Structure 1
Amino acid sequence: MAEIETIKCNFIGDFKVGDNILVNGKALCRLSSTNEGNTFNKLMVVQAGSIVEAALDQIIYRAQNYTTEGVPNIPADALKKIRDTEIERFNNIIQAMKTHKLLDGLGATIYDDLHRLRELRNRVHIQFDDKPKGLGRNDHDAFNGKNVVWSLDLCIKTLKHLSEKFPRPETLGVFSHDVSIPKN
C-alpha cells in the first residue's frame, strides 16, 4: 500500500468544492492502493489533475467573492484584476496564477508543470491523445509510473503551497478539509 500524505486544505472557500476535493482524494488513495498492473495510472493522473484544478480555482473564487475577508498574500491591485476578470477552465486558471505570480514560490517550472498536468488530465478525452508532446499516443506510455508519481507529487506540493500561502482565517476553519493524497 502506498504511503499517504494528509494536507489541511485551509484555503477552501466553498464548502461543497472542499467536500468534493476530499472525496476525490479518498478515491485517489483507493485507486493507488488497488493499482495492480498499473491499471489505474490514467485515472490517478486525472484525479490528481482535477484536485489541483479545483484547489487553484478556490483561490480565484475567494479573490472574486470574499471581498470582506480577502485573500492573504495577494496584493490589492491583483485582487482587483482577478475580480474584474471571468476566469474558468484549468488553462485560464493557470494563466491567472502566472499573471499574478501566485505560485512563484513553487519554482521556475511550476506553470509549465501545471500545463503539463492539465494536458495529461485532458487525455481523459480519448481524442486528445497527442499531448503533452513527446509522450506518444499510447496511454501506457503517457501514464507510466514516473508520470503518476510526478502528478501526485505536484498535487501534494500545490495543496501544501496553497494552504501555507493563502489560508483563510483560523476562526473560519469550518471549510478546512484534511485531504489525503497517495505518495506512491
Structure 2
Amino acid sequence: MKDMIWLDLVNTDWHDYRGSGRHEDRLLRPGMIEQLLEHWDIEGMERATEETIAELQRLRALIQRIIHTLLEKRLPDQDELVALNDCFAQAPTRLLVSPNEQQIQLRRVPCWHDWPWVYGEIAASFAHTLAERDPFRIKQCENPDCRWVYYDESSTASRRWCEDPCANIMRVRRYRARHRPSSS
C-alpha cells in the first residue's frame, strides 16, 4: 500500500505480539529511516538528525492520537486536524505542467525536497486515507500485546488481527482459558 506510507511510520512503535512485554521505537534503530525512505521511493535526502527523528516521532504520536479517536468511533477533533494541516504548511508544493507521451500531464511537485516535505507526504497519505477511504476501517490488532495498526480491507470490515500469528496466539489463549482447570 504505497498510498498509506503513514502505516509504516505508525508501526515503527513496535510491541512484541507474543506477550514478552518488549517494546521498541524502531525509528531509533540504525538504518531504519533509510529503509523507510527506500521503501517509499524517496531518494536524495540528507542524513536523518536527532531533530528529524524527533519530528517523525511527533508526527507518529499525532497520527496515533487520531487513530485512537477513530477506534472510539469518533472523527478527529479540530485541534488534531489543525496539527495535521500544520504538517502540510511546512511542505509547500507547486503545480508543474509537462508533456507525457501524447498528452499534457499536470503534477504537484514539492517546492523543496527536504525533511519537512517528507513529513508532509506522510501526513498527506494519512489525510487521503481519512478523506477518501473509510477512516473507521483503520484498526489496531486486538491482541493486547501487539498494537499493530492496519487498514481493514476485508469485504465485511470484520478483521480483528493484524496478521495470522496474532490470530493464532489469541485462539490459543482463548482455548487455554476455556480448558483451564478451575481451582476450587
- Per the TM superposition, whether the score is higher than 0.5 is no
By relative contact order (CA 8 Å, sep 6+), the higher-ranking structure is 1
Q: Which has the larger radius of gyration?
A: 2
* Greater helix proportion: 1
* Greater strand proportion: 2
TM range (shorter): under 0.3
Query: What TM-score do you get using the length of structure 2 for normalisation?
Result: 0.28
